[in-house]
Amino acid sequence: MMKKVLLTLCVIIATPLMAIQQPAGAQPPTPLILLNAGEHLLCGKSRDGKIEFEDGTQFKALSSEALKVYEEWEYHDHLAVTPNTLPMGGSEFYVTNLDQGNEFIHANFLSATYVDNDYTQHVHHIDPHDGEIYIWNGAGTETVWKLDSNDLELLENWRHGDRVVVGLNDLWIEKMRSECEFVIVNCDRSYLKHIRVSPVLDID
């Protein structure tokens, strides 16, 4: 009898702790939604600021903005992620809600994409000669990207199968440095934050 009571207490205590650790939310939509380049869906959020994309990538908003995300942002809102390259910018990234008047929050990378997901994107091939990178997602769709010539050396440590997230290169200071409209963030190479890219094929 005592064992049953202890087991029940453990379940009661553990359940809210699990809810705190993992962002609650909607599952990635089925059938597959075709997203524009650099767009993502909000599929999970938590009171402490965790944000989960459709591919499982998680970011965490700064504490001052966490409650805004939890209370005001809606599941399946379209989001975009932008590296924060400003000196003393306060976070690694900006996450912009494209359905909420381009409202943005400061956020840091938390965890990589799911390994097995139709939305998860992987490095399929790297062509250092032409400066191109081929990306496949779990549904078998391929996109090809041309690198900014200044970022070519960053590919030396990227590998086939690395999980990546496509974001926007729309920070004002970056527009002065590069004509590339997009970035690719390598989730498996945390010390190499991103490369700047432009689409080779029509990916809209």
In order of 51, 64, 124, 129, the CA distances from 164 in angstroms are 17, 28, 11, 21
* 105 lies in the same domain as 144: no
The domain boundary, picked from 70, 88, 111, lies at: 111
Residue 106: pLDDT over 80 = yes
Residue 14: pLDDT over 60 = no
* 149 lies in the same domain as 95: no
Query: Percent of the chain having pLDDT more than 90?
Result: 64
Interval 14-21 mean pLDDT: 43
* 101 lies in the same domain as 151: no
Residue 5: pLDDT over 50 = no
Highest mean pLDDT among 4-18, 143-157, 169-183: 143-157
The domain boundary, picked from 83, 111, 139, lies at: 111
* 102 lies in the same domain as 131: no
* 79 lies in the same domain as 126: no
CA separation for the pair 5, 10 (Å, rounded): 9
Q: Is residue 16 part of a domain?
A: no
Number of domains composing the chain? 2
Contact predicate 76/67, CB 8 Å: no
Residue 12: pLDDT over 60 = no
Contact predicate 45/23, CB 8 Å: yes
* 136 lies in the same domain as 191: yes
Q: What angle do CA 55, 90, 83 make, to 5 degrees?
A: 40
Q: Which domain holds residue 53?
A: 35-111
**pLDDT recorded at residue 100:** 94
Those residues whose C-beta lies under 8 Å from the C-beta of residue 193, and which sit 6 or more positions away, are: 83, 92, 185, 186
Give the three-class secondary structure for 126. strand
* 81 lies in the same domain as 145: no
Higher pLDDT, 176 or 139: 139
* 95 lies in the same domain as 150: no
Q: Is residue 181 part of a domain?
A: yes
Question: What's the mean per-residue pLDDT of the chain?
Answer: 85
Residue 107: pLDDT over 70 = yes
* 80 lies in the same domain as 150: no
Q: Is residue 141 part of a domain?
A: yes
Interval 123-137 mean pLDDT: 95
* 128 lies in the same domain as 150: yes
Q: What angle do CA 59, 93, 102 make, to 5 degrees?
A: 95
Residue 169, amino acid: N
**pLDDT recorded at residue 22:** 56
The domain boundary, picked from 64, 92, 111, lies at: 111
Q: Is residue 27 part of a domain?
A: no
Confidence of residue 7 (pLDDT cuts 50, 70, 90): very low
- pLDDT, tens only, 70-93: 999 999 999 999 999 887 778 999
Rounded (to 5) percent helix, strand, coil in the chain:
20, 35, 45
* 134 lies in the same domain as 160: yes
Peptide bond into 31 cis (omega under 30): yes
Those residues whose C-beta lies under 8 Å from the C-beta of residue 85, and which sit 6 or more positions away, are: 171, 173, 174
**pLDDT recorded at residue 26:** 64
Residue 20: pLDDT over 60 = no
Q: Is residue 5 part of a domain?
A: no
CA separation for the pair 94, 139 (Å, rounded): 27
